[in-house]
Chains A and B, each alone.
Chain A
Amino acid sequence: MTDDHVAPDPLVRAALQLLPVPPHEDGFWLALGAGMDAAPARAATGGHRLHPLTATVIATADTDTTDSAAGVSASPAAEPREALLPGRAIEPAPVDLVPDTTLALVPPGLRRRSNAVLSAVAVAAAVLVVVAGTTLVRQRGGGPTDVATLVGVDADAAASSSTTPVVVSDPSDPASPTGAVLRWVAALGAGDIDAAWAAMAQGSRAHFGSKATFAEERTGLAEGYGAWSAAPPDAMVVTPVSASGDGQLVVVTLVGTIDQEGQRQHRADAFPVRIVDGQASVEPFAVAGELDFLVPEDVPADGTRPLVGRDDELAVVVPRGVVAPIIRLDDGDTLVCGDAEGTELTELTDAPGQRCSYHPEGGIEAGDRVLTVAFVSADGAGISAASVVFEAA
């Protein structure tokens, strides 16, 4: 989509200007101050110092006279300074920023995670992901299996029933997609760019162009994908997407509670994995196009979103021209959208794209659910995948 589609819309903009923005109710700032007093912030222990070590910070009157708010109370550490009180002049007071010599300035990228944590992840993975076995869900065109689902059964059973085994139960096996994902997030979490780069498939490396460019994203990657390295996920689901002479593409969905952007979030993230010649490599950046969740709504970060009703239809938007996107609820059947019973794939009339909808037979059971959607580009070089956690009423 070009920028022409996203330039400001004057009509909508003018309409939004008609909505007033009300001031806070009385007591808002006092309540906030009390909340801050009750739960003081944790001071950071590192980072770039952008200010002289000792400064005089002067709180001045706020100019927002539309707000009738009272002031935020001063922190104990700042006594006897006044807090910022809208509409009130405040005496200047010094703020001591004497460095605490016990706090080392260690760049985040150099802080390696404990091996014990990573070992725990690997062990937990071995326990959690007793994945295996491909269960035929659909055969398209009467040909060999090209879309299958892996269900969480024991490894022995899987080995005996599998026709195209793509997953092994031991994450340390180089062919294990879950192992590839866990190794990759562990490397990102530890700031080990070499290991993270080595764990990626060619398409994702090509996205960055060079390891140096990839390394520039070290911090963001560590805080994003790397957040999964801090603790074992609650569950992992492996969804095969396609198989060809060039190998197999699967999606590993990690489900769990992680800390991102200062918030604890229960979420699910999808990690495409390419398996070639017995070697699994993550392929998160060779995207085949945009995916947009309609139901459940695609709400980021903390994973909370409006409830989905039992009889609601799950729906996503995939790019125009995408063939056979797959959709999967929890670890249920992997369905080809538009082909499988209960699904539809229709062209949007008022926007570019196709709507893939899925109405599970019998409705959506109440509770926390995970929806995974994926599709592959026509040449097999790109794969897009996404998973979301949502709550069904």
Chain B
Amino acid sequence: MSSSVTSLPDVELAELARLGDRLAFEALLQRHDQRMRGLSYRLLADRHGMDDALQEAYLKAYRGLHRFKPGSDFGTWLYRITYNACIDELRKRKRSPGATTDPIDPISARPGPERVVTAEETVREALATLPVSQRVAVVLVDGEGFDHREAAEILGVAPGTVASRLHRARAAVRRALGEDLG
């Protein structure tokens, strides 16, 4: 049987990868990379940090393929590893001398009365007000389109926990957007 890597469903590619086929794993990375970039960039707000986190995440996934459960969702598994890598990245930053408490640079901290606040900056500022656990909840549900149960599976917490975080996070984001845009 002949097939194309890009036409195989995730479940088959993942099984091939699990059995040692590196091309299948690379195909999975290509397929999911944009969403992983979306998650990590929105959590870290920094392109270099995003790449560092994704290097770590993809290598961890590669080395941990033998532990991937056959038939389970590869994307969910990779999201979870990526999220953990982002948390590691945040942790490294907080340990670095002179590091800020949050990687997202608050607009309000920037000098100059002449600065122009763009909509993008406003959103970044709103996200910066959230703890990471809440930030990832809105990124996964409102940004990536997961329902809260899927997000809970990715994060390894109860669905109710995600719902609770969403509630608080959205309220905070709305407040922040209202203050800056309103």
Contact flag A305-B87 (CB < 8 Å), given A8-B145, A16-B42, A261-B77: yes
Contact flag A302-B87 (CB < 8 Å), given A1-B167, A11-B174: yes
A44 x B84 contact (CB < 8 A): no
Kindly identify which residue among B25, B41, B88, B157 contacts A22, using a CB–CB cutoff of 8 Å. B41
Q: For chain B, give the interface size range.
A: 35 or more
A43 x B19 contact (CB < 8 A): yes
In the assembled complex, A219 has its CB within 8 A of some CB on chain B = yes
Q: Which 3 A-B residue pairs are closest in the complex by CB-CB distance?
A: A262-B64, A300-B156, A43-B20
**CA–CA, A11 and B39, complex, Å:** 18
* Interface majority SS (helix, strand, loop, mixed), chain A: loop
**CA–CA, A49 and B20, complex, Å:** 13
B142 x A49 contact (CB < 8 A): no
In the assembled complex, A332 has its CB within 8 A of some CB on chain B = no
In the assembled complex, A298 has its CB within 8 A of some CB on chain B = yes
Residues of B within 8 A of A292 (CB): 161, 164-165
**CA–CA, A286 and B102, complex, Å:** 37
Pairs A–B under 8 Å by Cβ, sample size 7: A18-B123, A41-B20, A50-B15, A62-B30, A262-B60, A350-B168, A350-B171
Residues of B within 8 A of A21 (CB): 34, 37-38, 41-42
In the assembled complex, A217 has its CB within 8 A of some CB on chain B = no
Kindly identify which residue among B16, B29, B54, B94 contacts A306, using a CB–CB cutoff of 8 Å. B94
B26 x A84 contact (CB < 8 A): yes
Contacts of A280-322 to chain B: CB distance below 8 A: 290-294, 297-302, 304-307, 317
**CA–CA, A8 and B143, complex, Å:** 9
Q: Which B residues form the contact surface with A (CB < 8 A)?
A: 1-6, 8, 11-12, 15-27, 29-30, 33-34, 37-38, 41-42, 47-48, 50-51, 54-55, 58-71, 77, 80-81, 83-84, 87-88, 90-91, 94-95, 119-120, 122-124, 126, 131-133, 138-139, 141-143, 145, 147-148, 155-158, 160-168, 170-171, 173-174, 177
Residues of A within 8 A of B17 (CB): 41
Residues of B within 8 A of A13 (CB): 142-143
**CA–CA, A154 and B30, complex, Å:** 56
In the assembled complex, A80 has its CB within 8 A of some CB on chain B = no
In the assembled complex, A20 has its CB within 8 A of some CB on chain B = yes
Chain B minimum-CB-distance residue to A46:
B70
A25 x B33 contact (CB < 8 A): no
**B97 CB to nearest chain A CB (Å):** 12
